[in-house]
Structure 1
Amino acid sequence: MADSNPLLSSPNSEAPQLEQQHLPSLDSTIEKCIGGFSGAQFFQAFLVSLAWFFDAQQTFISVFTDSLPKSWHCNSQLTNSTTSTESCNSATSDICLLPRDSWDWDFPIHTSTISEFSLECSGSLVTGLPASAFFMGCLIGGLVLATLADSSFGRKNMLFLSCLIMALSTLFTSVFSTNIWIYSGFRFVGGFGRATIGTCALVLSTELVGKRWRSQVGVMGFVLFTLGFLSLPAMAYANRGSSWRYLYIWNSFPTLFYSVVVYFFVSESPRWLFVRGRKEDAIATLKNISQISNINQNMSFSSLTFEQETWNVDLYSTMKILVEKKWAFRRLSAVMAIGFGIGMVYYGMPLALGNLDFDLYLSVTLNALSELPASLMTFFLVGKLNRKSSLMFFTILSGICSIMSVLTGQIIIWTRLQIGFELVSFFSACTAFNILLIFTIELFPTCVRNSAVAMVRQALVLGGVFSPVLAAAGRGDGVVSYGVFGMVIGCFGFFVVCLPETKGRAICDTMGEEEHRDKNIASCKDHRYAGIDV
């Protein structure tokens, strides 16, 4: 397994002398302190990962609140002339061609934003505006807030602030939304605040544990995201017939309470504290999270030495470094391209489920359930899976099944087979999503890791920005939505060939350390090609 120290040099005099050995990496130094997986570490990792639960609810809540009611009836209590009632037929008539007073929804008008704001005959750009505004807020919020977790705010404070903004905007959405424009504005603010939740939760939880448990703890967040997604159809089904505003209220108060818990009970990443020069705070955090498993450890916390980053970290310096370093920019461009393709399917498919001839509550539940085996498979197999080959396999499989779901609906017209292909495609996209985030964590050092993961999530969200419009445009045959989804994720998955394999590698903490290791690996490969033993 590769690490941050130089590889053993060859005794052969023909081999060039490798660089001098660096100081121990921060990763290896903290590993000595953390050791096994203690109860304190599990508690911290669980609290941080719980943010994914509320994140999932906000991401997919519009599937139910903004759904188009499908059942309506002719109004038999008209006081006008009977000609309008005679022209109304709930089986064959188009409500957009009927007088508004000649028909009514089967459910109360406030059960959906579409019916309450009278958008049933509006175009796809208007009906898809709230969901698109949410993802646009995620995109802009990620660009504005992405580097704060690496620079001045830190992982914990950024997680707290993001959850608080999301919770308050959710509450204000339910209280103050009087039309589609105000509603879309609050959804934009919610997306803006929510933008960094998944990034901070993933990075912080993995930086609080040793490398043996890093992947498993990362997958814990994916499982909780699935549970949050799965809770939505249950909440929406219990809320059927009631106002869509209640669904937002039920989501806002638990998130507010969780924000308080994060502020008072979650610890900051010791790795980030060390990189920022706050050695005493980092040592205190290490003592706190390692007190159960290593209370009698022989090493002295005050004697920790490690290689530190030399460049000055300010608000956007992490993004500057990622762009200026050719190897970092190449990696970032590739993972963002893959993320765009995955995001279009991951966010688009649940939004397009209303286009299928299938019960909405059941189809959303099945999609949420498909995330669970994807997370569990990643949890148990992430240590054995090659990142590159598995990522390419699942993106191609998702693309093929997405296209097949369209062909099945067009040719066979068999609902069960169509939903089956859709579920396999969504399951593959979920698995690819999980692997991509873990892959990104391993590709970049600590000093820029949060920003790199944030940019990948921005690429995922960018795919989500186009998804509501494609979902609305694909009503009827689904060719525009599922066909485009499949082509995009299948093609963009091939960018994985531009990335190095990271399975089994120790992660680095500084840019210099990452470059030093890459040089050693490249040097050893050159020696092997030349027939020199290294």
Structure 2
Amino acid sequence: MADSSPLLPPFLLAEPENSAVDEPQASLDSVVERVIGDFGWTQLVQSTLVLLSRFFDAQQTFISVYADSEPAWHCINNGMCNSSANICDLSKSSWAWNGHTYKTIISDWDLECASSFIKGLPASSFFLGCLLGGFVLGTLADTSLGRKNLLTLSCLIMSIASLMTIFSTNVWIYSAFRFLSGFGRAAIGATALVLATEKVGSKWRGQMGTIAGVSFALGLLSLPGIAYINRNFSWRTIYVWTSTPSILYCVLVHLLVLESPRWLFLQGRKEAAMAILKRLGPTSLNLCLPYISLEKEAPKTNLYSPIKILLVRKWALQRLLIVMLTGFGIGIVYYSMPLAVGNLGFNIYLSVAFNALAEIPSYIIFSFIVSKWSRKGSLLAFTTLGGICSIMCIMNWKEVVLIGLELVSYFSACTAFIMLMIYTLELFPTCVRNGASSMVRQAPVFGAVFSPILISAGRSNKVLSYGVFGLVILCSSVFVFCLPETRGVALSDTMDEQEEKEQLAM
């Protein structure tokens, strides 16, 4: 039996003179909304601190652009060496790396003639860790750990594993640490966004998504600067520069970040929730807040319960497979473009910086088209544009033209991914929406697992990288034609309600 005592202290329960004696109980969401509906300085600091995790997330996601790259080399014996020849056909005594031999893992461990699988293994291991971590850690934020603790734990695992990477002595140990780093990283994005949105009013939740995206882009933008400063040092230095601040950030999160009051309420920790609401709300609250019945809140579920429901209904399973397949194709392009910029021959520092800057406009453009363009049409438009531009990167054109095509492809993939997540939310009813969204979020990561191997193979033939990227996103998005349009359609709460609405619409 739920405790019917007031969940807020007396000074928040000032009864108006004309209030009814038996005021009806309100939902948890409505009460929390009345307390923190306005956006104050405390919420701004809390949200910014939480979403800063995306900054470090981006650094670890794309750090292999520099740490795993193949450095330039030069001939030292012109009689036995040709700079246009395959390095593996030359004698080791006839050429040398530009700069020191420990600049990247390729030169440090003599991997220049290793297979594409070996060269791409560390980055692929990172994304495999992300994939496994998404399933293992995905439900802990709703159950035992909570939002704050899971964010701290995930970021700490990612950061410590990244720091431990510097002690790697071969590519196998290095890949193992990258896998562990990816495992921890898996829960950062979703957990940070949930924690930030649950501490602001509903009208500010969209802005939290924008801040998260900008934070990720800024993290990517910082990476070429760090790599350029350390260009004459070992690849291990980059890991130290990125992991050390991230560990310090985890300490700040543990000390300063407040837990979600919504999660605390649902866990029955009323006193802790009240204390946080007092800190998040205005300093002079004079509200008449009703009692809250926790029995009226939605029952707790985990990620795997709605998946069982999705597998039973044929139409739901079909939709899930289509959006996951589309997400797979988008992920191939989204993660591959920044990772593969070294294959274009353009300045590797400027190209990554341009990619980071290209991601920011995608959020701005999306905010304009989301209410005007159809979901299906815009998703198809951006995936098609991204695929065509990626395929065009295989041409032997000027570097500036190729980097322009690469940026358009990356921008299109960014915008397509945002649209896909909104589309997914509208395609499924409330009872399975979170589970479907979680599954779709894993699809791009699964695509990213194959990207490093294709990128490594594409160093000798761009068709194997940019050509494959474009074909995959084009082919995977074809099935979007089979999905219904959802813009302006009211959301359903149950599977039966969704089926009834669609039968009436036919």
Same fold (TM > 0.5): yes
Letter in 2 for 1:152: S
Question: Could you say if the C-alpha distance between residues 327 and 51 of structure 1 is closer, same or farther in structure 2, counting changes exceeding 3 Å?
Answer: farther
| 1:129 aligns to 2:121 (yes or no) | yes
Question: Against the structure 1 CA distance between its residues 381 and 42, is the aligned structure 2 distance closer, same or farther, given a 3 Å change threshold?
Answer: farther
Paired residue secondary structure (1:111): coil
- 2:296 is aligned, of 301, 304, 307, to 307
Counterpart among 468, 483, 486 of residue 498 in structure 1: 483
Give the aligned partner of residue 349 of structure 1: 337
Structure 1 residue 363: deviation in Å?
Answer: 1.6
Q: Which amino acid letter does the alignment assign opposite residue 41 of structure 2?
A: G
Give the one of 390, 398, 422 matched to 1:414.
398
Give how far 1:386 is off: 4.9
Equivalent positions of 1:274-353 (< 5 A) are 274-291=265-282, 295-300=284-289, 302-303=291-292, 307-310=296-299, 313=301, 316-317=304-305, 319-320=307-308, 323=311, 329=317, 332-353=320-341
Cα distance, 1:278–1:445 mapped onto 2, change above 3 Å: farther
Residue 380 of structure 2 corresponds to: 392
Residue 157 (structure 2) pairs with residue 165 (structure 1) = yes
**Aligned-partner SS, 1:118:** coil
Identity %: 51
CA-CA distance at 1:89 after TM superposition: 2.5
Q: Which moved more, 1:238-247 or 1:208-217?
A: 208-217
CA contact (8 A) 1:53 1:225 kept: yes
Specify whether residues 382 and 263 from structure 1 end up closer, same or farther in structure 2 by C-alpha distance, changes over 3 A only. farther
Tell me how far 1:45 sits from its aligned partner. Answer: 1.6
Choose the corresponding residue for 1:185, options 176, 180, 190: 176
Corresponding residue for 1:156?
148
> Where does residue 107 of structure 2 map in the other structure?
115
- 2:138 is paired with a residue whose SS is helix
Distance 1:52 1:328, change over 3 A: farther
2:439 paired residue among 447, 452, 455: 455
Structure 1 residues 89 and 459, CA gap change in structure 2 (3 angstroms)? same
Alignment-mate amino acid for residue 519 of structure 1: E
Contact 1:200 1:450 in 2 (8 A): no
1:145-294 to 2 correspondences below 5 Å: 145-174=137-166, 176-291=167-282
How far the C-alpha of 1:128 sits from its partner, in A, is 0.7
| Residue aligning to 1:514 | 493
Partner SS state of residue 108, structure 1: coil
Q: Give the SS at the match of 1:208.
A: coil
1:8 corresponds to which residue? none
Return the offset for 1:376: 3.1
Unaligned runs of 5+ in 2: 1-23
Cα deviations by residue, 1:385-419 (Å, 9 ceiling, x for unpaired): 6544433322222122222333xx15xx2332222
Length-normalised TM-score, structure 1: 0.81
Which sits farther off after the overlay, 230-239 or 199-208?
Answer: 199-208
Change (3 A) 1:448 1:149: farther
Asked whether the equivalents of residues 219 and 379 of structure 1 are also in contact (C-alpha less than 8 Å), the reply is no
DSSP-derived class of the 1:128 partner: helix
Q: Contact 2:428/2:436 (CA < 8 Å) preserved in 1?
A: yes
Task: Say whether the 8 Å CA contact 1:386–1:503 is kept in structure 2.
Answer: no
Q: Secondary structure at the match of 1:104?
A: strand
Label 1:181 to 1:136 Cα distance change in 2 as closer, same or farther (>3 A). Answer: same
Aligned mates of 1:281, 1:438 — CA distance in 2: 33
* Per-residue deviation, residues 200-232 of structure 1 (Å, max 9, x unmatched): 112222222222221121111010100000111
User: Unaligned stretches of 5+ in structure 1?
Assistant: 1-21, 75-84, 507-512, 530-534
Q: Following the alignment from structure 2 to structure 1, what is the Cα–Cα distance between the partners of residues 222 and 47? A: 21
SS in 2 for 1:149: coil
Query: Residues 135 and 93 from structure 1, CA distance in 2 versus in 1: closer, same or farther, beyond 3 angstroms?
Result: same
Q: Which amino acid aligns with 2:382?
A: F
Contact 1:275 1:447 in 2 (8 A): no
Match for residue 63 of structure 1? 65
* CA shift for structure 1 position 44: 1.8
Give SS of 2:223's match: helix
Q: CA deviation at 1:315?
A: 8.0
Structure 1 CA distance for aligned equivalents of residues 333 and 429 of structure 2? 29
Residue 331 (structure 1) shift: 5.2
Structure 2 Cα separation of the partners of residues 261 and 207 of structure 1 = 20
Give the 3 Å change call, closer, same or farther, for CA 194–388 of structure 1 in structure 2.
Answer: same
The CA distance in 2 between the partners of 1:156 and 1:499, in whole Å, is 37
**TM-score normalised by the chain length of structure 2:** 0.85
How far apart are the structure 1 equivalents of 2:479 and 2:260? 32
Displacement of 1:335 in angstroms is 3.4
Residue 420 of structure 1 deviates from its aligned partner by: 1.5
What one-letter code is carried by the residue in structure 2 that aligns with 1:115?
A: S
SS at match of 2:233: coil
Shift of residue 279, structure 1, vs aligned partner: 4.7
Distance 1:52 1:112, change over 3 A: same
- Give secondary structure in 2 for the equivalent of 1:110: coil
Letter in 1 for 2:216: F
Distance 1:145 1:499 in 2: 32
2: CA distance, partners of 1:269 / 1:324: 33
Query: Is residue 97 from structure 1 mapped to residue 89 from structure 2 by the alignment?
Result: yes
- Quick one: distance in 2 between partners of 1:442 and 1:274? 28
Instruction: Give the whole-Å Cα distance in 2 for the aligned partners of 1:475 and 1:337.
Output: 27
